[in-house]
């Protein structure tokens, strides 16, 4: 795959994921009381709701800044692995209900791979 095609695919994925995570984080923050109640209902500390909401919002913004793409993707992958685990163990519907979390995790991994630094070539 040529570097320009790789770049275009990465930017499209970054923009889509950024929009999703900014929306998700902002929604959680706008209804923080409800989000906290949901987290506590799953046996998680209420403060984790704020941490996840802020991390999603900042991670979404980070996906749009070239210097922070990899760090943002890694942070969001960690959050999404937690979401997949919660869907599998605590949320009714199991992994079928967590399909969006799985897809986002895979797409974040794709962004991370596309934005990884190329290995040095042997001369």
Confidence of residue 105 (pLDDT cuts 50, 70, 90): very high
Q: How far is CA 118 from CA 1, 65, 99, in A?
A: 13, 19, 31
3-class DSSP state of 101: helix
Helix (H, G, I), strand (E, B) or coil at 117: coil
C-alpha span between 96 and 101 (Å, rounded)? 10
DSSP 67: G
Pull the structure tokens for residue 98: 């967590």
Higher-confidence residue of 118 and 33: namely 33
What's the gap between Cα 24 and its chain centre?
10
Task: Band the pLDDT of 97: cuts 50, 70, 90.
Answer: confident
Mean pLDDT of the chain: 92
How far does Cα 113 stand from its chain's mean position? 15
What's the DSSP call for residue 91?
Answer: S
């Amino acid at each position: 795959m040529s570097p320009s095609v790789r770049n275009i695919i990465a930017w499209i994925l970054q923009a889509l994921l950024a929009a999703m995570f900014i929306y998700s984080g902002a929604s959680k923050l706008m209804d923080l009381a409800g989000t906290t109640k949901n987290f506590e209902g799953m046996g998680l500390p209420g403060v984790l709701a704020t941490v996840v909401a802020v991390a999603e919002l900042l991670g979404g913004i980070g996906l749009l800044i070239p210097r922070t793409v990899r760090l943002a993707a890694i942070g969001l992958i960690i959050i999404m692995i937690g979401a997949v685990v919660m869907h599998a163990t605590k949320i009714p519907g199991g992994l079928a209900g967590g399909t969006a979390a799985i897809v986002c995790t895979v797409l974040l991994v794709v962004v991370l791979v596309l934005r990884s630094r190329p290995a040095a070539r042997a001369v």
